[in-house]
Amino acid sequence: MDAIITQVQSLASNANEAGRKEVIGTLRNLQYAVETPNDTLNRFAGLNLQIAGARIGVDLGIFSALHESKQPLSVEALARKNGAAPELLDSPRLTSEGRNLRYLASVGQIKETSKDHFSSSSITATLADDNYQGGIHHFFDTVGPSIQELPDFLAATNYQNITESTKTPFNRAFDTELPAFVWFPSQPERFAHFQKVMTVQRAGAPIFISTFQFKKELGNFQGKPVFVDVGGGFGNQAMAVLEAFPELSGKLILQDLPQTLEHVPAIDGIQVMAHNFFEPQVVKVMIYLKELRCRTNIISGAKFYYLRNILHDWPDEKSVVILKNIISAMEPDSRILIDDKVLPNEKVHWQATQEDLTMMATLGSKERTVEQLRVLMDSAGLEVLDIVQYTTSLNDSIIVAVPK
């Protein structure tokens, strides 16, 4: 068994991202194949508990303490660090803290080195990171209740498809008539957790400029700005473009809601602009005509209007509005770049199907197939020029679109 483990680890470490995902998928399928019915039932029984245990570990600072320590820590030492009640330290019995530590070790989130002593595992460093901790909070506190509501919601609606952003399991779970992204800003703590996980959601995975021929598509475009990151959050994608093409400094714009942008530090070379993508796009190129000796402006559209994981957050009707608001600002050489999953019609990867049902339960939206995407583009008055896939398992792709 040790030899097999070593061989698998070597295979994964020497593979590219697609190969590594294939190794993980093969191991996952192997686990399912060798499970007994009782094994399967026990695996299901613990699914909710794994993220609940992680949430407790985050709240108690367990992962951070173990990650920072060079030596294993005892239950007592960890209890002192997180301010546990004194009786937890005095009792010779296994405390609630000790029981949680034992559980976290059993599912690989930390490592048990000896009786009542624990250290960091390969996963602990991830769970000690503030942004990934935001993910634990987001998926437990906000996504979790929505998923719990999903079975009863579907039963109550006679298992109809969920297509409205205000009639979802999320709305029932949180007793609100607002779409999730309208409700979020009124929940600053939840919103902060969401923004944190968005910064690392695809950490380590390829990004669109790894495959998309950005400079070729840019051509000899001389306008300013070149790239408008619509609803771009913390600006990770805009920063990636700037890093790859530093000559575009000053020609990139990051747009999002004010409550998001207030958490974004100043980024050299990128203009930060408050904008709601449900309103007409305002970015135009302003050219000063010196020969007229006056401040006369010729207005024309930017080259690229980029939407990263925006349309999968909204049902078709809302997505059409978002796209039409951009069309109104475009010129003949402008392009809309839609960075989203484009699912195959069969054998979709489990991560993509997981995200699809999460979108349905929380937002009334979906991950779209090629056919669904083309129907959406046609409804918005857009023509798809190209679809460039840049990840294998999740089918992340760049859709290049222009007005018909």
CB half-sphere exposure, 154, CA atoms < 13 A: 13
Report in angstroms the alpha-carbon separations of 142 from 61, 67, 109: 21, 27, 22
Q: Distance (Å, rounded) from C-alpha 129 to C-alpha 131?
A: 6
State the residue for tokens 């992204």. Answer: 181
117 is catalytic: no
Catalytic residue among 138, 275, 312, 349: 312
- Token digits of residue 105: 């070790």
Active-site annotation, residues: 312
